[in-house]
Amino acid sequence: MNAHPPTPASPARARPSPETVAAVVRELAATFGNRLVTAQAVREQHASTLTWVPNQPPDAVVFARSTEEVQAAVRICAAHRMPVVAFGTGTSLEGHVNAPYGGVSIDLAEMNRVLAVHAEDLDCVVQPGVTRKALNEHLRDQGLFFPIDPGADASLGGMAATRASGTNAVRYGTMKDNVLALTAVLPNGEVVRTGSRARKSSAGYDLTRLLVGSEGTLGIITELTLRLSGIPEAISAGICPFPTIKAACDAVIMTIQSGIPVARIELLDEVQVAACNAYSKLSLPETPLLLVEFHGSEAGVAEQAERFGEIAAEFGGGPYEWATKAEDRTRLWQARHDVYWAAVALRPGARVIATDVCVPISRLAECVDETKRDIVESGITAPIAGHVGDGNFHTSPLVMMDDPDEIARVTGFIERLVARALAMEGTCTGEHGIGQKKLRFMAIEHGPAALEMMRALKRTLDPDDIMNPGKVVPV
């Protein structure tokens, strides 16, 4: 049985004809040789595989090794109006890499070299297939790190394309803040270079930020210049249960208002804590839980951890535990590290449907509380974990994919979750992106004028709609 939730489709657009596919494949094969692949298994791997989005494979996959090769592939596809979909590690969650209208997936995993590290400038230049863990491995000896951590070991090109963020964003920002410059292949086959290694610039339109978050619909990123940070001299980490979500959120607000430069501040709800207790054999109190981490000097991180403890106590939090040694920190944060697998173990056989919204932090407690009520009333299982310093939280309904009724209930729940976040002046996604599954919320979130402005940008830069069609901007 295959009871998928509704997925947007554009009946107006047809897949390329078999003749077109054959012609494109022939031309690509001439350039890419055996790095042009049409085997079904490979094509299926290059489409959505992680969540409940149906797998919509491309017609062919090419494994590119340079900007010039990406350009060659795009030019061949453009000449035939064939869709092109950039592919990094395939860890996006909203159907970003699907090929609903067929086309060619350009796999960038082999473009995995760190081209330069400029330690004095705290920046580096990388190819798009470098993953964040590989980059951090490369940087460690120089005392540097790249702070954006979305959980998955995603490729940096994909992280830029989806405007990823994660646990460190409250202190270090998102991909929007940590990309200095890009090289990209545009839909017309031109190679564009945006930005520079200067930390800031007022020289013209911000093409870098236009490409960051465009999900491969305006260009394919083939090189990135990234901001780096120094590995902090010291790190402290803490964990603190709270009587209610509200109390935990109030402690977060006070922490940030006080100017304590918290590096990570994560919330788990009691359902998630119980799941972690079961999975990781912990004995945390099954109430809302905050996990915090501070980066700085030895004295600084001790002071920050202590001040957070005082704030937590003011809001009824405790017992509060904190540590600076690496093994103690790992032990304290065990629950957070195991969030995903603990959720999976809650309901064997179920799919984890990770979704996210983001609201102003003053509305966070209310949004989470209403969402928890909705979870109960919908009769679904959905732990909540959030990057609460940003007002961003995830809920991960566990769905039996052979139960159409449950799928319908989860679909309705996500609709209400988004409506709730938007009503609170938030956004339908803080970090997962639009892809296919959140396309229908774009008009509601942005309104007709902004949506038409996005459409105009897309039409101008990609008049034939060849780059990742069916994503981000509803036609």
Contact yes or no for 31/73 (Cβ under 8 A): yes
> How close are the terminal C-alpha atoms of the chain, in Å?
31
Stretch that binds a copy of itself, among 38-46, 262-270, 311-319, 450-458 (CB under 8 A): 450-458
Q: Which one among 95, 438, 465, 470 touches a copy of itself, defined by CB under 8 A?
A: 438
Alpha-carbon gap, residue 352 to 472, rounded angstroms: 23
Using the minimum distance from each CB to a copy of itself, give the nearer residue, 151 or 404: 151
Which one of the spans 78-86, 370-378, 406-414, 434-442 is the region binding a copy of itself (CB under 8 A)?
Answer: 434-442
Q: What is the sign, positive or negative, of the torsion defined by CA atoms of 199, 202, 203, 206?
A: positive
- Judged by CB, which is closer to a copy of itself: 43, or 329? 329
Residues 289-348 touching a copy of itself, rule: CB under 8 A, are 295-297, 299-300, 303, 307
Nearer to a copy of itself, 45 or 183 (CB): 183
Q: What mask, x for binding a copy of itself by CB under 8 A, covers residues 345 to 384?
A: -------------xxxxx----------------------
Stretch of 8-16, 236-244, 263-271, 432-440 lying at the interface with a copy of itself (CB under 8 A): 432-440
The token duo for 376 is: 């109960």
229 bridge partner residues: 145
CB of 151 to a copy of itself, least distance (A): 14
For residue 441, the minimal CB distance to a copy of itself (Å) is 7
| Interface with a copy of itself, residue 454, by CB under 8 A | yes
Specify which residues 351 forms β-bridges with. Answer: 399
DSSP string, 16-76: PPHHHHHHHHHHHHHHHGGGEE--HHHHHHTS--SSSSPP---SEEEE--SHHHHHHHHHH
User: Does 194 contact a copy of itself by CB under 8 A?
Assistant: yes
The binder of a copy of itself chosen from 46, 80, 163, 420 (CB under 8 A): 163
Please name the residue that has the structure tokens 């190679």. Answer: 191
For residue 58, cis peptide bond before it (omega within 30 degrees of 0):
no
Residue type, 363: R
The answer to the question of residue 396 lying near a copy of itself (CB under 8 A) is no
Of positions 102, 426, 469, 470, contacts a copy of itself by CB under 8 A: 426
How far is residue 411 from each of residues 44, 369, 380, 416, measured CA to CA in Å? 24, 19, 11, 9
Residues 227-256 that bind a copy of itself (CB under 8 A): 229-230, 232-233, 253, 256
> In this complex, which beta carbon is closest to a copy of itself, that of residue 17 or of residue 460?
460
**H or E segment at 271?**
helix 270-280
Interface map 209-228 toward a copy of itself (x if CB under 8 A)? xx-xxx---x----------
Shortest Cβ 43–a copy of itself spacing (Å): 27
Nearer to a copy of itself, 9 or 443 (CB): 443
Binding part of the chain for a copy of itself, among 56-64, 309-317, 405-413, 441-449 by CB under 8 A, reads 441-449
Question: Which 92-131 residues touch a copy of itself, going by CB under 8 A?
Answer: 118-123
- State the nearest-atom distance from the C-beta of 275 to a copy of itself, in Å: 26
- The yes or no reply on residue 29 touching a copy of itself (CB under 8 A) is no
Helical (H) or strand (E) element with 158 = helix 156-161
Determine contact, residues 391/441, Cβ cutoff 8 Å: no
Residue 430 engages a copy of itself in binding (rule: CB under 8 A): yes
Among 11, 33, 204, 349, binds a copy of itself (CB under 8 A): 204
**Helix, strand and coil in the chain, % to nearest 5:** 40, 20, 40
Residue 59: CB minimum distance to a copy of itself, A: 27
Tell me how far apart the alpha carbons of residues 30 and 48 are, in angstroms, rounded to a whole number.
28
- 262 binds a copy of itself per the rule CB under 8 A: no
Pick from 417, 461, 466, 467 the residue near a copy of itself by CB under 8 A. Answer: 461
DSSP for 298-327 reads: HHHHHHHHHHHHHHHHHTT----EEE-SHH
Of 53-61, 64-72, 334-342, 447-455, which segment contacts a copy of itself by CB under 8 A? 447-455
For residue 106, give the 3-state DSSP assignment: strand
Do 225 and 198 form a contact (C-beta atoms < 8 A)? no
Q: Which of 169, 247, 352, 467 binds a copy of itself (CB under 8 A)?
A: 169
DSSP 88-117: SSS--SSSTT--TT--EEEE-TT---EEEE
Q: Which of 3, 42, 191, 274 binds a copy of itself (CB under 8 A)?
A: 191
Tokens 């790249």 locate to 146
Identify which of residues 186 and 353 has a Cβ nearer to a copy of itself in the complex. 186
CA dist 12 and 75 (Å) reads 24
